[in-house]
Structure 1
Amino acid sequence: MGHQASASAESHGLAKITVFLYSFSMKPQSNQAGRGLQHNTPSRFSRQTSQSIDDGWQEELDALPRLATELRPEIARSIVSRNQSPDVPLKRSINPYRGCEHGCVYCFARPSHAYLDLSPGLDFETRLSYKSNAVELLEERFRQPNYRVEPIALGINTDAYQPVERKLRLTRRLLELMLEYRHPVSLLTKGVTLLRDLDILEALAERNLVSVSISITTLNQDLKRRMEPRTASPRARLNMLSRLREIGIEPGVMVAPIIPAINDRELESILARAAGAGATRAGYVVLRLPHELKTLFRDWLAEHFPERARHVMSLVQQLHGGQDYDPSFGLRQTGQGAFAQLLAQRFAVAVRRHGLDRDGRPELDCSAFRRPSRQGDQFHLI
């Protein structure tokens, strides 16, 4: 039986303790098939770290079942978040889920799992929580006398249509409440479960209460499996655009993230295929590597693209002023420097060629909001 030895380090002013834990060791890929990452990196708040050592038990461990998804309810204290970033056009958002089973290796939201004392690695895609009282909290917010209507982005941090939504139907119930109150809502997703809710989306669209964009990172199915293993296929996402057009929604396409020397050469072909499938507007975001994500992404590159890993990171750093990531508003999503300028020029030419150069998101109706009567409401004689 092998052991795991914790390495002593300093982080955020707190000394990390050194302990020795005895356990079976596991090679990174042994039982994580279908997951985006193959290990749990310590979060930036962890007070101890560990290193696996191969003890020769690998053949026996290979027979273990695949790593399952853990799902737990969370009682949220609030449900609508206020966004202060000028890079994001919508100022209000709701995130029904923490963590995301899609397992996208590049997800900028991974570091947020550290606030739950969990790893941004495998924990982010296997140890999820959902806000079980989300619908009740949102209705409570809507019924406040001083509530001011603004469009709400649904699932801006983690995907509201990730696989667990098929069972929980939390996003659907939130949309049903939006429809009942005639409240405008915006969606950005790569989850095919969206097609289950076409009936609600159509009813919202008839009242100009919804905008939808589909995220497409690659048209290459093999790269999709490596980079975002539990997402819908490229073909399925193009079909989502077509189905949305059929019910009266003019969808957008988001090419995100653009990763130099990995998928950047697909920019024009993604926009062309998306326009042909029904997209009417487009956007893009370059790769962002905040906090632990810079280490996780490097590990993924070393595993899947070792021959070009250094070149990819060199170009990424060129986009962010010589760093792995520059969080400055106005720069973090589009980058800076010669490579960023080239991307911007290529994007501008492609959207003009394919008729995707509409300005921004559609203006949704904020004037139709109403409060349906509920049992216990007070009525006043006039």
Structure 2
Amino acid sequence: MEGKDYLKGRGAQYNPHNKFVQDVYGKFHIEAIDSFEEESNKTIFIPSEGKSLVHKVDSPDVGMAFSANPYQGCEHGCIYCYARNSHQYWDMGSGLDFERKIIVKTNAVELFEKFITRKNWNFTPIHLSGNTDCYQPIEREKKLTRDILQTALHYKQPISIITKNALILRDKDILSELAKLGLLKVFVSITSLNEDTRQKIEPRTVTAKQRLRVVEELANCNIPIGVNVAPVIPGLTDTEIPQILKASSDAGAKWANYIIVRLNGQIGEIFKDWLQVAYPDRCDKIWNSILSCHHGQVNNSNFGERMKGTGNIAEIIRNVFKLHCLKNKLNLEPFEYAKIDRLHYRDTQLSLF
């Protein structure tokens, strides 16, 4: 990723204009008299007290009914991240702002507890990291995710987690207890085993080797663990599917899923800008391969198609994935949460009010 003024350690290289903001601020003429202060590339953290944390997920094809995100924005900087667009609702950009202006929901634990102790709550599983990674670097200091998990354990609230950060291993003690009760499943995202590729598409994440270590250590703790080969980027990472599935199975994974990259909203222009610098020799091939999976567009919002894609390339990816899941004995049986008698816990919750 060489090039003049290229921002190493970041995915996006600029901020596309926020569609909700009318005014534009930027450096347009170098001969201007007024001074212009360039924004720092350093990550900043913005404390915020939210009104809610757990949200219902209306999309029928994402595999979750409710999600909770203690952080908004993600320092991992994954160039393809679908959550980038949501940063615009905070009057920030979906490009660089998403990676270096992280909102910390300081009252996340209190909001989580308030939600799951409602009189009519039926203990449907809640997914952590539905929008941004709950184990991104700032979690090491803030420990919001750990405290949420502790609260979930106390009330016997079922949880699912998806992450690409080895920091999850810090919480093996709580995760193990949730798993013993049948209240937890964890998925680790692995996009590429190639370290050069990983550094380009996910600049501030841990290596694939570390992620496989996460799978192995959690499996050794009898924690239900799977891998998410996501997103598959046709023309770039699709050929790695067999190797990722074998390595994951060898490490102890029991389940696997995949998603073909789709570039919704402003992600398309951010991704293409990055692609032209990161892979100038393969830019057109990769871009056209993505188009072929979404009816000639880079995004398809149709439920049932948007995650797995359509067309010849998407079908090849689907067949390869199914074949190597079978070869590596993945997805042999579905995961099911345990059924727990809630009467005692309901009485405990009501006593709090």
Contact 1:142 1:371 in 2 (8 A): no
Matched, 1:112 2:112: no
- 1:79-90 equivalences under 5 Å are 79-90=53-64
Structure 2 CA distance for partners of 1:65 and 1:333, relative to 1, 3 Å = closer
Counterpart code for 2:155: Y
Q: Which runs of 4+ in 1 moved over 3 A?
A: 28-32, 48-56, 371-378
SS at match of 2:97: helix
Relative contact order, higher structure (CA 8 A, sep 6+): 2
Match status 1:40 vs 2:15: yes
What corresponds to 1:5 in structure 2? none
CA–CA separation in structure 1 for the residues paired with 2:300 and 2:144: 34
Which of 343, 346, 364 lines up with 2:337 in the alignment?
364
1:129-160 Cα offsets, whole Å, 9 max, x none, are: 02111111121222222221111101111000
Q: Which amino acid aligns with 1:284?
A: Y
C-alpha separation between the residues in 2 aligned to 1:109 and 1:167? 23
Contact 1:151 1:366 in 2 (8 A): no
Distance 1:275 1:164 in 2: 30
Partner of 1:227: 201
Determine the C-alpha separation between the residues in 2 that align with 1:319 and 1:374.
48
Q: Map 1:284-323; keep pairs closer than 5 Å.
A: 284-323=258-297
Alignment of 1:115-126 (within 5 A): 115-126=89-100
Note the 1:149-188 alignment, pairs <5 A.
149-188=123-162
Structure 2: any 5+ residue segments left out of the alignment?
Answer: none
Moved more, 246-255 or 363-372: 363-372
Superposed counterparts of 1:367-382, under 5 Å: 367-369=340-342, 370-371=345-346, 373=348, 377=352
SS of 1:365's equivalent in the other structure is coil
- Residue-by-residue CA offset, 1:337-371 (whole Å, 9 max, x unaligned): 111111110011000000013344x1112424425
- 1:225–1:54: structure 2 CA closer, same or farther, 3 Å change rule? farther
TM-score, structure 1 normalization: 0.85
317 and 375 in structure 1: CA distance in 2 versus 1, 3 angstrom threshold: closer
**Distance (Å, rounded) in 1 between the aligned partners of 2:6 and 2:262:** 28
Larger CA deviation: 325-334 vs 136-145: 136-145
Which whole-Å CA distance do the structure 2 matches of 1:78 and 1:372 have between them? 24
Q: Which residues of 2 match residues 1-382 of structure 1 at below 5 A?
A: 30=5, 32-49=7-24, 52=27, 55=30, 67-360=41-334, 362-369=335-342, 370-371=345-346, 373=348, 377=352
Tell me the alpha carbon deviations over residues 185-218 of structure 1, each in whole angstroms, 9 at most, x when there is no partner: 0001001110100010011111111000100000
How well do the aligned residues superpose, as a CA RMSD in angstroms?
2.3
Rounded to whole Å, the distance in 2 between the matches of 1:29 and 1:274 is 38
Describe the SS at the equivalent of 2:58.
coil
SS of 2:114's equivalent in the other structure is helix
Q: Measured at CA, do residues 281 and 30 of structure 1 come closer, stay the same or move farther in structure 2, by a change above 3 Å?
A: same
Q: Which runs of 5+ in 1 are unaligned?
A: 1-27
- SS of the residue corresponding to residue 109 of structure 1 reads helix
Distance 1:336 1:359, change over 3 A: farther
Specify the SS of the correspondent of 1:179: helix
Corresponding position of 1:9:
none
TM-score (norm 2): 0.92
Percent identity, aligned pairs only, is 37
Per the TM alignment, residue 86 of structure 1 is displaced from its structure 2 partner at its CA by 1.1
Q: How many residues align?
A: 345
* Inter-CA distance 313–375: structure 2 relative to 1 (3 Å threshold): closer
* In 2, Cα distance between equivalents of 1:260 and 1:336: 12
Asked if the contact 2:116/2:157 (under 8 Å) is kept, the reply is no
In 2, the alpha carbon distance for the partners of 1:144 and 1:250 equals 28
Are the counterparts in 1 of residues 140 and 167 from structure 2 also a CA contact under 8 Å? yes
Return the alpha-carbon distance in structure 1 between the equivalents of residues 243 and 200 of structure 2: 20
Q: In structure 1, what is the Cα distance between the partners aligned to 2:206 and 2:317?
A: 26
- Quick one: structure 1 residues 251 and 340, their matched pair in 2 at CA, closer, same or farther if it must change by over 3 Å? same
CA distance in 1, matches of 2:147, 2:271: 35
Q: How far is the alpha carbon of 1:35 from its aligned partner?
A: 1.4
Q: Which of structures 1 and 2 has the bigger CA Rg?
A: 1
Deviation at 1:263, TM superposition (A): 0.7
Question: Cα–Cα, structure 1 residues 340 and 376, in superposed 2: closer, same or farther, change >3 Å?
Answer: closer
1: distance between equivalents of 2:188 and 2:132? 14
